[in-house]
Each structure stands twice: as C-alpha cells, then as structure tokens.
C-alpha cells in the first residue's frame, strides 16, 4: 500500500474511532426510519457500491445457503436468528422480509449500505438536497439526527460476535481496512 493510501486509510480509521467515542450510536429502530435499499445509495455512491458489492459482507446471505451452514442449522437461510446479520433491515419497514418473494427483497438481500449506516429513509432526504448543487456537501448534523450512522466497532460487533457459530476473533482495524470504500475523490467533505 502506498504512503498516500495508507495515510488516507489511517485518517479514515481515526475519524471512525473519534466519532464512535464522541457520537451516540443511533439505533436502526429510530422512529420513522425506513430502509430504502442499496440502489438508493448507488445513485450517488456508485464506486463505493462497486467496492462493497465485491465483499463477503455483501454476499452474506449466500453463506447461509452453503452446506457448511446447513450442517449447523438446516434452516439457516430462513432462520431470523441467522438472517439478522446476513441481510439489511430484517423485519423493518423497507427491509428484508423473510416471507416476501425474492424479487421483493432484491435490494436488501445482502449486508448493504444501510446495515452499517442506518436506514436511509430520513437522512437520504437531507443528502438529496445537496444533489442539485453538485457539491456533495450536505448538513451532516441534520443527517446524523435523521439516523445516519458513522460506522464504528460498536456497530460491527452487533453481528461480528461470539453468537455466530463461525465466529473468528474480530479485529476492527483490520476488518475496516478490508471494506474501506472511500477515497479522496468520493469522500464527502463533511463525513
């Protein structure tokens, strides 16, 4: 990794650390929060979406359909205890519905943007206001109040914990680098 990229990764991790210590973690169950699905994010964050779509997280639901998972729980792919960490917004408005048709879940049948950043129903309205200006600047404080989460270790360990039968020691810094999906050209000035 070159020096400039290493600096940006370390800066990003430092910002995440500070934000996780100083900002309250907003609940995905915030009143009025609605999941919109990754296609809503992809419109403005195309390259970030492309990076994330190649990660194991994005393919987490597929892991529940493997023979390895079925040996532990034959109904893993439909068991809500498993699904809660393998899809986006399980059982919430706009989120994954285990009783729905595959096509109705297509936009949330993976660990997508809102699984880490919170349901976008309210904060996307704030971000959309920045679209006509083309600046990428939005009212960050208003977006946070509307449910936008700056992912932190506390957000990750809601799923990456010993409750999983496949748990491996979770090293936040290493993991965050593996899924890092921002760079200078795409990083909002106010994130």
How many C-alpha atoms does 154 have within 13 Å on its Cβ side?
Answer: 14
Q: What is the pTM of this model?
A: 0.73
Provide the Cα torsion 76, 114, 43, 98; round to 10°: 30
Q: Is the pLDDT of residue 34 over 70?
A: yes
Rounded distance between C-alpha atoms, residue 184 and residue 103, angstroms: 35
Tell me the pLDDT tens digit for each residue of 114-170: 999 999 999 988 888 876 665 667 788 888 999 999 888 999 999 999 998 888 888
């Amino acid at each position: 990794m070159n020096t400039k990229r290493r600096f940006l990764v370390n800066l990003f991790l430092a910002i995440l650390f500070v934000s996780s210590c100083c900002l309250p973690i907003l609940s995905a169950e915030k009143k009025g929060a609605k999941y919109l699905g990754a296609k809503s994010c992809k419109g403005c964050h195309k390259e970030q979406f492309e990076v994330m779509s190649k990660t194991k997280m994005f393919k987490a639901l597929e892991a529940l359909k493997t023979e390895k998972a079925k040996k532990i729980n034959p109904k893993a792919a439909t068991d809500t205890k498993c699904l809660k960490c393998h899809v986006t917004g399980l059982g919430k408005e706009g989120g994954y519905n285990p009783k729905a048709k595959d096509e109705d879940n297509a936009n949330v049948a993976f660990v997508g943007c809102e699984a880490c950043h919170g349901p976008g129903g309210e904060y996307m309205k704030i971000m959309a206001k920045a679209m006509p200006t083309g600046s990428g600047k939005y009212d960050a404080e208003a977006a946070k109040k509307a449910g936008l989460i700056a992912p932190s270790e506390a957000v990750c360990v809601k799923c990456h914990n010993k409750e999983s039968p496949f748990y491996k020691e979770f090293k936040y810094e290493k993991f965050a680098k593996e899924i890092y999906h921002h760079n200078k050209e795409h990083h909002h000035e106010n994130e």
